[in-house]
Amino acid sequence: MDRRTVLKGLAGAGGLALSGGLAAPAIAQGTSARTLRFVPQANLANFDPIWGTQYVVRNAAALVWDTLYGIDAQLQPQRQMVESEETSDDGKTWTFKLRPGLKFHDGEPVLSKDVVASLSRWAARDPMGLMIIAIQQELTAVDDRTFKWVLKQPFPKMLYALAKNNAPCSFIMPERIAKTDPFKQITEYVGSGPMKFAKSEWVPGAKSVFEKFADYVPRQEKASWLAGGKQILVDRVEWLVMPDPATAAAALQNGEVDWWENPIADLVPVLRKNKNISVDIGDPLGNIGSFRMNHLFAPFNDVRARRAVLMALSQEDYMRAIVGDDDALWKSLPGFFTPDTPLYSEMGGEILKGKPDLDAAKKLLAESGYSGQPVTCLVAQDQPITKAQGDVTADLLKKLGMNVDFVATDWGTVGSRRAAKTPPGQGGWNMFHSWHAGADCITPAAYTAIRANGDKAWFGWPNSPNTEKEITSWFDAKNLEEEKAAIGRVNKAAIEDVVYAPTGFFLTYTAWRKNVSGITKGPLPFFWGVSKSA
């Protein structure tokens, strides 16, 4: 082998790789008024909205799969794929009829058998679905457009369950796909929604492409969140993942992307200075910050210790750590439910109002028998919201005289360690931080974090029979007044027993180029009605 042979070989190998011999994604496309380039909140790493319940999957799925009902901006369920429904006098039998002309992206008609298979798969993974399964007698297709759900007892929240935007949503898939085990991923992404998923262009972690579905039949009503006529006004929507917020901000300013779902608060002033960019609140339902205490082990197995922490915490400290100095982005929250929604209540929330009382909190903590044992506080450093909250909590606990074992780690580790029911010194924990989408905290229906049924509850395993009793009374409520009263009692009971610690309510912005119009505020980005000029 001589020098010339080696050099030729190297040049040949390099040329092959770069000229397309290796698969390469087409990330940068020409700018076009028919293509909307969107920076999502996170990477679309999988695309099964039943198997994976991350918000980003739900958001993308809402383009590809349709639902029987859709929640509107007034938080009311509206017909979507369904033309009509009937309830028997005893409230136990629901009969639904599909709209005519519904088609899947593969050209096949949407039939009742598809709906039955889809609802069965969804119900196996959804908290409300599991409640329905528990009282289900049968779910059957009557004919191609009619299906029937027969229950052993009435379930007044049926339409809400089918319409809700909390993940997992009851998306309708073809029967062959919906028969996949709900704990295994689907491999075909065929829906009947307004856009098709271009699987061949999918580069997980970088790019996802959706193309307009020409045969979609939108409803005649005006679109409102997940309800109404989903008119797609562009040919193509590209989701471009940008892990670095500074890059996303620069790309938006440079016109390389059209819409950035959730710019971080620190960069909003820069975006606002750009005359080509609009910035506004993205989701009016916002988020509720939280930390959970482990109810199984000392010191937080004693309600007095949990109350002491609530008594000492300043929600303002938490909110400023998360959103900075922008007062329009946060408010204090003396409770657990999303502010400015119909059922919102502050009943029993006095402990979270006014200035923190550190002296009283210290006294209560001493009464609980706390004797200086380490408090293991898990803080994910790779999530800005949990990191900010963790820093404030560490300071709070120290002010209370607690011995903080601050475990700085990543979200993946927190996610698995929080499931450990072992004592804190043996791989367990005392506290971890999180946050909940306000859309999930409107009612107890999809609000896993408020449940207080001990071993079956979310991490921290709170056991509060009063809270559970009032949650049941909400499910049984027959009108809005009864629902409101029940939610007030849930709030009071959950605060008394400190199911978890709410750290405040905060909003986030969304930003877009001014040549894009039709963007509406909502709990997820809605692409129907959005258009773009050149």
Partner 1 sequence: MLSYILRRIVATLPVMAIVALFVFSLLYIAPGDPAVVIAGDQASPEDVERIRQSLGLDRPFLIQFGSWVWRILHGDLGTSIFTNLPVSTMIGQRVGPTLSLMIITLLLTIVIAVPLGVVAAWKAGSFVDRAIMAFAVFGFSLPVFVVGYVLAYVFALELEWLPVQGYTPLTQGFWPWLENLILPAIALGCVYIALIARITRATMLEVLQQDYIRTARAKGLGQGGILFVHALKNAAVPIVTVIGIGIALLIGGAVVTESVFAIPGLGRLTIDAILRRDYPVIQGIVLLFSFVYVLVNLMIDVIYTLVDPRIRY
d(C-alpha 182, C-alpha 164), whole Å: 19
When binding is defined by CB under 8 A, the residue of 89, 90, 107, 244 that contacts partner 1 is: 244
Q: Which of 35, 46, 373, 517 binds partner 1 (CB under 8 A)?
A: 46
**Is residue 214 within the footprint of partner 1 (CB under 8 A)?**
no
The answer to whether residue 53 forms part of the interface with partner 1 (CB under 8 A) is: yes
Q: Which stretch binds partner 1 (CB under 8 A): 177-185, 226-234, 259-267, 336-344?
A: 177-185
Work out the burial of residue 159: count CB atoms within 10 Å of its CB; fewer than 13 is exposed, 13-18 middle, 19 or more buried: buried
Beta-sheet pairing, 374-380 with 403-409: parallel
Establish if 204 lies at the interface with partner 1 (CB under 8 A). yes
Which one, 50 or 115, has the nearer CB to partner 1? 50
Which residues ranging from 250 to 279 are in contact with partner 1 (CB under 8 A)? 250-251, 253-254, 256
What stretches of 400-464 show up as alpha helix (H) in DSSP? Answer: 411-417
Helices 465-476 + 480-496 axis angle, to 10? 170
Q: According to CB under 8 A, which residues from 367 to 386 bind partner 1? A: 382
Q: Is 207 among the residues that bind partner 1 (CB under 8 A)?
A: yes
**Selection from 265, 257, 231 nearest residue 515 by Cα:** 257
Per CB under 8 A, contacts with partner 1 among 144-173 are 166-167
Q: For partner 1, which residue of 84, 185, 422, 515 counts as binding (CB under 8 A)? A: 185
Nearer to partner 1 among residue 249 and residue 312 (C-beta): 249
For partner 1, which is the closer residue by CB, 17 or 142? Answer: 17
Closest contact distance (angstroms) between CB of 446 and partner 1 is 7
- DSSP bridge partners of 419: none
Q: What x/- string results for residues 220 through 239 when contact with partner 1 is judged by CB under 8 A?
A: --------------------
Find out whether 100 and 145 touch, Cβ atoms under 8 Å.
yes
Burial of 216 (0-12, 13-18, 19+ CB in 10 A): buried
Which of 451, 422, 424 is CA-nearest to residue 436?
A: 451
The reply to whether 411 sits near partner 1 by the rule CB under 8 A is yes
The single residue among 219, 295, 306, 417 that binds partner 1, judged by CB under 8 A, is 417
HSE, side-chain direction, 13 A CA sphere, residue 447: 28
For residues 207 and 295, which CB has a smaller minimum distance to partner 1 in the complex?
207
Q: Exposed, middle or buried: residue 184 (CB in 10 Å: 0-12, 13-18, 19+)?
A: exposed
Near partner 1 by CB under 8 A: residue from 8, 10, 222, 472: 10
The site string for partner 1 over 26-45 (x = CB under 8 A, - otherwise) reads xxx--------------x-x
Between 127 and 156, name the residue whose CB sits nearer to partner 1: 127
Among 100, 101, 205, 218, binds partner 1 (CB under 8 A): 205
DSSP letter at 300?
T
Q: Does 203 bind partner 1 (CB under 8 A)?
A: yes
d(CA 86, CA 221): 21
- Phi, psi values for residue 69, rounded to 5°: -130, 160
Q: Which is nearer to partner 1, 344 or 432 (CB)?
A: 432
Q: Does 187 bind partner 1 (CB under 8 A)?
A: yes
Q: Which is nearer to partner 1, 14 or 218 (CB)?
A: 14
Q: Which is nearer to partner 1, 45 or 214 (CB)?
A: 45
CA distance 75 to 164: 9
User: Out of 54, 136, 473, 531, which residue is the one contacting partner 1 (CB under 8 A)?
Assistant: 54
User: C-beta of 252: minimal distance to partner 1 in Å?
Assistant: 9
Q: How far is CA 130 from the centre of its chain?
A: 19
Which listed residue (25, 369, 401, 425) binds partner 1 by CB under 8 A? 25
Q: Least CB distance from residue 82 to partner 1, whole Å?
A: 26
HSE on the CB side for 208, CA within 13 Å?
Answer: 26
Tell me the C-alpha distance between 300 and 305, whole Å: 6
Burial of 195 (0-12, 13-18, 19+ CB in 10 A): buried
- Residue 279: both structure tokens together: 């910035």
Q: Check residue 284 for interaction with partner 1 (CB under 8 A).
A: no
Burial of 513: CB neighbours in 10 Å, binned 0-12, 13-18, 19+: buried
Question: What's the closest the beta carbon of residue 266 comes to partner 1, in angstroms?
Answer: 14
Report the residue number, 391 or 440, with the smaller CB distance to partner 1.
440
Residue 261 near residue 60, CB atoms below 8 Å:
no
Alpha carbon distances (Å) from 440 to 277, 381, 435: 30, 24, 11
Check residue 448 for interaction with partner 1 (CB under 8 A): yes
Q: How far is the CB of 421 from partner 1 (least distance, A)?
A: 9
Contact between 415 and partner 1 per CB under 8 A? yes
Half-sphere exposure of 154 (CA within 13 A, CB side): 11
Q: Which residues bind partner 1 (CB under 8 A)?
A: 1, 3, 6-7, 10, 14, 17-20, 22-28, 43, 45-46, 51-54, 125, 127, 166-167, 181, 183-185, 187, 203-207, 240-244, 246-248, 250-251, 253-254, 256, 382, 409-413, 415-417, 419, 434, 436, 440, 446, 448-449, 456, 458-459
